[in-house]
């Protein structure tokens, strides 16, 4: 499951990893909360939506965009609140969560860590063989996060196994 966190618009996606670099789209959508609503109400709506997705699709893993400072502290704080709700939803189901920076996702999907939204949408449409680009951009970003994790998961697993085996060898 890929999640592009946001309080106003939160992109959600589910993909199925195939052989090699093949990734199949399963579902994509955007949860919206009203900008004028109180923070607690918005977080409650976001929580309900992500919990429904997790219950419906039962993902094995969740990939979320890592929050970073974009110059507007208020926006960062709201996004951080949303991330907390999203991570909690996964934690309550014992689903592992991996976080990726926007540049990591861009590099994995397009080969360019500075790709713009249009390039990313074009690449995710091609990679997943979609008949039309996912809209809005939050949906495409959620798919890109899921694809990024599918492609990085084998390396993460091998690295974890190597670290574990080297730790076992150094124990007395």
Examine the residue annotation and report whether 56 is marked as an active-site residue of this protein.
no
Residue 117 · residue 124 · CB < 8 Å: no
What is the distance between the terminal CA atoms of the chain, rounded to a whole angstrom? 40
Examine the residue annotation and report whether 65 is marked as an active-site residue of this protein.
yes
Q: Residue 116, annotated ligand binder?
A: no
**Which of the following is catalytic: 65, 94, 104, 132?**
65
Q: Residue 38, annotated ligand binder?
A: no
Closest CA to 99 of 79, 118, 115: 79
Q: Which residue has the tokens 């997790």?
A: 54
**Which of the following is catalytic: 138, 141, 164, 168?**
138
Q: Determine the Cα–Cα distance for residues 62 and 72; give it in Å rounded to an integer.
A: 26
Examine the residue annotation and report whether 38 is marked as an active-site residue of this protein.
no
Q: Residue 65, annotated ligand binder?
A: yes
Catalytic residues: 4, 65, 138
Q: Summarize the annotated binding site as residue ranges.
A: 4, 65, 138
Q: Summarize the annotated binding site for Mg(2+) as residue ranges.
A: 4, 65, 138
């Amino acid at each position: 499951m890929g999640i592009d966190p946001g309080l106003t618009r939160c992109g959600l996606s589910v993909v199925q990893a195939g052989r090699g670099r093949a990734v199949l789209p399963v579902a994509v959508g955007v949860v919206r909360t009203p900008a004028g609503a109180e923070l607690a109400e918005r977080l409650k709506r976001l929580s309900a939506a992500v919990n429904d997705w997790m219950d419906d699709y039962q993902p094995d893993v969740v990939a979320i965009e890592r929050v970073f400072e974009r110059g507007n502290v208020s926006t960062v704080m709201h996004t951080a609140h949303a991330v907390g709700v999203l991570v909690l939803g996964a934690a309550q189901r014992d689903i592992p969560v991996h976080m990726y920076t926007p540049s990591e996702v861009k590099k994995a999907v397009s080969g360019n860590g500075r790709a713009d939204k249009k390039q990313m949408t074009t690449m995710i449409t091609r990679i997943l063989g979609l008949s039309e680009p996912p809209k809005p951009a939050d949906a495409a970003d959620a798919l890109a996060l899921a694809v990024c994790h599918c492609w990085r998961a084998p390396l993460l697993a091998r690295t974890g196994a190597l670290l574990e085996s080297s730790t076992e060898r150094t124990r007395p």
